[in-house]
Amino acid sequence: MSDHAETTVQQILASERFRRAAETLATEHDRTVDDIIRLTEIEAPSFNENVRARTWHDMAKAHGLDDLEIDAEGNVTGIRRGIGNGPLICVAAHLDTVFPGGTDVKVRREGTKLFAPGVGDDTRSLAVLLAWLRALDAAKIDTRADILFVADVGEEGTGDLRGMRHLFQRGRYKDRISAFITVDSPNMDRIVTGGVGSKRYRVTFKAPGGHSYGAFGVVNPMFAMADAISRLGRVPVPAEPKTTYSASVTGGGTSINSIPNSVWTEFDLRSVSVRELNELEERFLRIVDAAVAAENDIRSTRNGPVSAEITPIGDRPAGHTSESHELVRFAQAAINAKGFETRFESSSTDANIPMSLGIPAIRIGSGGTGAREHSLEEWIDVEPEASLRGMEAGLATLLAVAGVV
Amino acid sequence: MSDHAETTVQQILASERFRRAAETLATEHDRTVDDIIRLTEIEAPSFNENVRARTWHDMAKAHGLDDLEIDAEGNVTGIRRGIGNGPLICVAAHLDTVFPGGTDVKVRREGTKLFAPGVGDDTRSLAVLLAWLRALDAAKIDTRADILFVADVGEEGTGDLRGMRHLFQRGRYKDRISAFITVDSPNMDRIVTGGVGSKRYRVTFKAPGGHSYGAFGVVNPMFAMADAISRLGRVPVPAEPKTTYSASVTGGGTSINSIPNSVWTEFDLRSVSVRELNELEERFLRIVDAAVAAENDIRSTRNGPVSAEITPIGDRPAGHTSESHELVRFAQAAINAKGFETRFESSSTDANIPMSLGIPAIRIGSGGTGAREHSLEEWIDVEPEASLRGMEAGLATLLAVAGVV
């Protein structure tokens, strides 16, 4: 832990203005909870975040952000200006949930617990961004950096980080953001500094097929597929940087007495290292080619050869932010100061995109507790003590990064 | 071609009594067609043949068979006695069709063509057996052998030859039948002398599974399965006696980012040789064990090992009747004499069971033409000329085998 980071955070936490901001978080906590419920009850499956985006846009409007808008990809973006000539830092929460349209998203309250799909991942964070804006304004806190507040689309599954890709690679803030914090899910103790990259493929092996007895001897796409899976299973990968693969889901075939026309498997390749992931991907693609060639060599292609149709179904870049980077140290200091243990983790979050571009990025929590994410039994606890401690830790992190005047 | 077989068949065909029998087939052809339609329109999926069985039983009753009954498995059996002290030979057609209950089995007639699921495979043959009985009775033909007429259950798919297993291995005629003819589907030109045996398995590979990234390094049942398939694909099998294998249908897996708990493949092993099929089966079962052991060796079993659940889903014994056997020569001579080309084939029919027990057995056709078996567009042609020629060839075969007094 650097003295600088600890000192900076301690000064912020001890300041009169931060105390006022924390007070505002406390007095406005019921409003924050109302915001969580309101946003949670607007369904927002990936690729269908627009109603929730519009609602968050209108809620943010009250807080006087500059350039508040919904960008071409569907992200809501708006700037809280610093004192001028500072860098641009970004804090984000994602609008989308894993739950398909039609899922019952009504929030059930039991004491301080809120039950609803998506309530913690990541709807609570959307409300926390608004709470931070109110606290900063009430306390009249000025920052050196401009802070870009973002409610982004496409973090989950097939969304494949499309919101972040737009923000960092195509939109108006492209090449301007110098640090990135995503607030994703409640728990405070995990600081994500590693962005696990993934490449996902569905490979369909096709051939003419035929009767299992009558056409025996012709190529069987099942053998090509099995060979590809077996070869992948023998690929050595480093434990550090952690690199993994899986043959995950499979299907196909006509009937017990038929050589299949078509069988498929879905493959998941991951690494925290861009280089390792690219190497693994190249090796995997060569393996598929080799397995197809081997089957066409071993058995007869008189009715036609086996071929492989390789369809990318996911591509998340890997990345990493050094645990010694100031951004990480500020977060660790602020979260520890507010009484939480911290550990570093690798995961797949919105931070993958900036990490992959060399921009320092982390994931922190939105405060309080919660569990069962990605299940219909998802819940969060909005009990004020731990919730406010977490929100204060996050706000202190943001201010340490942005610099308080 | 043996002179004996040709001579015997020529004598039968030239006899006055056979001419009378053939005349009866001709004059009663409309009745035979009516019987085909009546029986076809009674649905009879494998394991649900009882209504059709009862109907055939009652139709056969008019022809004075001895010991006419429905046995414990559901086969209808009845004997046309010979002159005494002769052997027992058996002629059969199967009651069941591949079509599930609820399939529209109404016969559509276009000219001499009848369209309906199951009409040719094998309902026509059931009516032909009755036509032969009427012809034999009208012509007062006595045979040396007793002839057991059988309408049997469970020939198709999952029926797995249960009717024949009962008849030859458990029922009252066990160990008494010295030759077997199954009349199965119309076409006359193929004499089945090889019984393709099959062993079918569904193998489910199970393991604890886990997150594709978080749990990487633990055993993945997909690798064990792929290894088993790959090893099978490298097994050399003889072209003669023809022996084959297929990995045919596959499925399983949880999600793209999960190491699966369970994946499965269905395997089809076949041979015309009992010994080769048994060897292949043993080798296959050893391969599954070896693939499971290898995966448990290569990756971590800290959460539990991979295991394989091996479920037999089909078992048809292989067998063969020598093409030089009298039974085959009689059939070939009779069918050629009636103007049809003949060739020998291996297939999976009711004859597999007696063949596997060393009892001479063949499949012949019921006469006429037909196509699209096992499809909803199945049809037969009952045009009298080719139909009667075929029925005469079959009857002459039966009489040559049974011996005419």
- With a cut of 60, say whether residue A2 has pLDDT above it: no
- Model pLDDT for residues B361-377, shown as the tens digit of each residue: 999 999 999 998 888 88
Query: Which member of A212, A222, A298 has the closest CB to residue B270?
Result: A212
Whether the pLDDT of residue B155 is over 80: the answer is yes
Looking at beta carbons, which residues of chain A come within 8 Å of B250? 222, 250-253, 263
Provide ipTM, 2 decimals: 0.77
Pick the residue from chain B with its C-alpha nearest to A158. Answer: B256
Q: Is the peptide bond before B189 cis (omega within 30 degrees of 0)?
A: no
Of A284-293, A365-374, A392-401, B336-345, the one with minimum mean pLDDT is A365-374
- Cα A303–chain centre separation: 46
Q: What is the mean pLDDT of residues A377-397?
A: 97
Q: Is A118 on the interface with B (CB under 8 A)?
A: no
Say yes or no for a CB contact (<8 Å) between A248 and B225: no
* Chain B nearest C-alpha distance from A277 (Å): 13
Query: Six-digit token pair at B232?
Result: 């099978």
The residue of chain A nearest to residue B249, with distances taken between CA atoms, is A253
- Lowest mean per-residue pLDDT among A9-13, A40-44, B259-263, B332-336: B259-263
Q: For residue B1, name the pLDDT band (cuts at 50, 70, 90).
A: very low
Residue B139: band (very low, low, confident or very high) from pLDDT cuts 50, 70, 90: very high
Q: What pLDDT is stored for residue A364 in this prediction?
A: 98
Q: What is the pLDDT of residue A1?
A: 45
Comparing alpha-carbon positions, the chain B residue that sits nearest to A217 is B244
Q: What span, in angstroms and rounded, lies between the C-alpha atoms of A322 and A142?
A: 28
Residue A67: CB atoms within 10 Å: 11
Q: What is the layout of strands, in order, in the sheet containing B369-371?
A: B108-110, B113-115, B379-381, B369-371
C-beta of residue B355 within 8 angstroms of C-beta of residue B179 = no
The pLDDT of residue B3? 78
Q: Which of B250, B254, B259 sits opposite A222 (nearest CB)?
A: B250
Residue B156: count other Cβ atoms within 10 Å of its Cβ: 23
Residue with more model confidence, B254 or B110:
B110
Q: B254 vs A249: CB contact, 8 Å cut-off?
A: yes
What mean pLDDT is predicted for residues B296-319? 95
- Chain B residues in contact with A251 by the CB 8 A cut-off are 250-253
Given an 8 Å threshold on Cβ–Cβ distance, is A249 in contact with B256?
yes
Question: What pLDDT, on a 0 to 100 scale, did the predictor assign at position A368?
Answer: 95
The strand pair at A177-183 and A88-94 is best described as: parallel
The answer to whether A284 faces chain B, any CB pair under 8 Å, is no
CB neighbours of residue A275 within 10 Å? 11
Residue A339 CB partners (closer than 8 Å, separation 6+)? A389
Q: What would the mean pLDDT of A231-254 be, rounded to a whole number?
A: 95
Number of neighbouring beta carbons within 10 Å of residue A14: 9
Q: What is the mean pLDDT of residues A60-83?
A: 96
Strand B319-320 relative to strand B210-211, pairing = unpaired
d(C-alpha A53, C-alpha B310), whole Å: 52
Q: Could you read off the pLDDT of B26-80 as tens digits, one per residue?
A: 999 999 999 999 999 999 999 999 999 999 999 999 888 999 999 999 999 999 9
Q: Which residue has the tokens 């039994």?
A: A377
Judged on CB neighbours under 10 Å (0-12, 13-18, 19+), A258 is middle
The owner of tokens 């009409």 is B119
Q: Is the pLDDT of residue A134 over 80?
A: yes
Contact call for B253 and A255, based on CB within 8 A: no
Half-sphere exposure of A294 (CA within 13 A, CB side): 18
Name the residue among B97, B101, B100, B81 with its Cα closest to residue B89: B81
> If we measure between CA atoms, which residue out of B228, B235, B190 comes closest to residue B308?
B228
B169-216 confidence digits (pLDDT tens)? 999 999 999 999 999 999 999 999 999 999 999 999 999 988 888 889
Q: Using CA coordinates, name the residue in chain B closest to A266.
A: B256
Q: CA nearest B158 in A: which residue?
A: A256
Q: What is the pLDDT of residues A283-320, one digit of tens each?
A: 999 999 999 999 999 999 999 999 999 999 999 999 99
Q: Is residue A40 a contact partner of residue A119, using CB atoms and an 8 Å limit?
A: yes
Q: Which among B198, B244, B251 is the nearest to A251, CB-wise?
A: B251
Where does B219-342 show beta strands of DSSP type E?
243-252, 258-259, 262-271, 307-316, 319-320
Contacting residues for B240 by C-beta, under 8 A, at least 6 apart: none
* Average pLDDT for B2-27: 95
Q: State residue B221's pLDDT score.
A: 98
Nearest CB to A213; choose among B196, B256, B259: B196
| CB of A200 less than 8 A from some CB of B | yes
* CA–CA dist A220, A205 (Å, integer): 9
Question: What's the whole-number average pLDDT of chain A?
Answer: 95
- Token pair, residue B224, equals 């064990």
Residue A134: its H or E element:
helix A124-138
- B224-279 pLDDT, tens per residue? 999 999 999 999 999 999 999 999 999 999 888 789 999 999 999 999 888 999 99
What is the DSSP secondary structure assignment for residue B99, as one 8-state letter? P
Residue in the structure block whose two tokens are 């014994």: B317
| Cβ contact B250–A250 (<8 Å) | yes
